[in-house]
Chain A
Amino acid sequence: MTDFITGVMWITGSSFAFLAALGVLRMPDVFTRMQASTKASTLGLGCLLVGAALQLADLASIIRVISIGAFIFLTTPVSAHVIARASYRADIPLWDGTVLDERRERAHPGATNQSAGSQATPANHA
């Protein structure tokens, strides 16, 4: 029974990690890529850790697995926030289909707020 639950958890978790990698490859924008990578990889790693904790059933391993999980769950949103803020301030261009950019007035005063993506400043980040 434990082996069955471990197998199901590992299949689920690695599928979510694969979805995260696919989102990083296929999404059009650094912000959407980061969103896919952060959420899906956190859920996938959580499933993998549950399977590992069921498989290694002693106290020292379970403490280590729980500490890995707590660390990843706490630090992944922080690093995503840091990268998002840095890339917005560095004028990384948004996707062309972006419909709303609420920080545009504050970041670039005097610019209109319609179709934020196509009017994003074409900085040389190519």
Chain B
Amino acid sequence: MVEFGTQFALVTLGMSMLIAVVRLVKGPSLPDRVVAMDLLGVLVVGLIVVLAASTSVRAALDAAIVIALIAFVATVAYGTYIERGHPE
């Protein structure tokens, strides 16, 4: 069951990342792209967690923590940038 779960999770998370990249390229305004980037960060964290747990590479969890932190700081910085009035 865990092998099938691992493969299903990896394939589904990869497809979700592709869809988020489609919205990142298409997105009509800058906040759409920021939302897609935020979702992409969460999906990368999930992918790293699944990979670290299925191959028992425990050091990758630290990378997941760092990526979550950087995604949050980037989103808040983009929010300040949009609010200051330079969209696009």
Could you pull out 23 A-B pairs where Cβ atoms are within 8 angstroms? A10-B50, A11-B5, A14-B9, A18-B12, A20-B16, A20-B39, A21-B19, A21-B20, A30-B31, A33-B35, A34-B31, A48-B9, A55-B53, A64-B58, A68-B49, A71-B69, A76-B42, A83-B38, A83-B75, A86-B78, A86-B82, A92-B87, A125-B29
Interface of chain A, helix or strand or loop or mixed? helix
Query: Which of the residues B8, B36, B87 comes within 8 Å of A14, measured between beta carbons?
Result: B8
Q: Which of A62-107 contact B (CB under 8 A)?
A: 64-65, 67-68, 71-72, 75-76, 78-80, 82-83, 85-87, 89-90, 92
Taking the closest CB of chain A, its distance from the CB of B38, in whole angstroms, is 6
Which A-chain residue is minimally distant from B26 (CB atoms)?
A25
Q: Does A116 contact B (CB under 8 A)?
A: no
CB distance from A1 to the nearest CB of B (A): 10
Given contacts A13-B9, A48-B49, contact A21 B43 (CB under 8 A): yes
How many of B's residues come within 8 Å of A, CB to CB? Answer: 55
Which of chain B's residues have a CB closer than 8 A to the CB of A37? 35-36, 38-39
Interface residues on chain A, size class: 35 or more
Closest CB of chain A to B84's CB: distance in Å? 9
Is A7 part of the contact surface with B, judged by Cβ < 8 Å? Answer: yes
Q: Mark B49-64, 1 if CB is under 8 A from A, else 0.
A: 1101110101001101
Q: Are A44 and B46 in contact (CB under 8 A)?
A: yes
A24-B20, A55-B2, A82-B75 as given contacts; A13 in contact with B35, CB under 8 Å: no
Q: How far is the CA of A78 from the CA of B71 in the complex (A)?
A: 12
Q: A11 is contacted by which of B9, B22, B28, B62 (Cβ under 8 Å)?
A: B9
B9 nearest CB across to chain A (Å)? 4
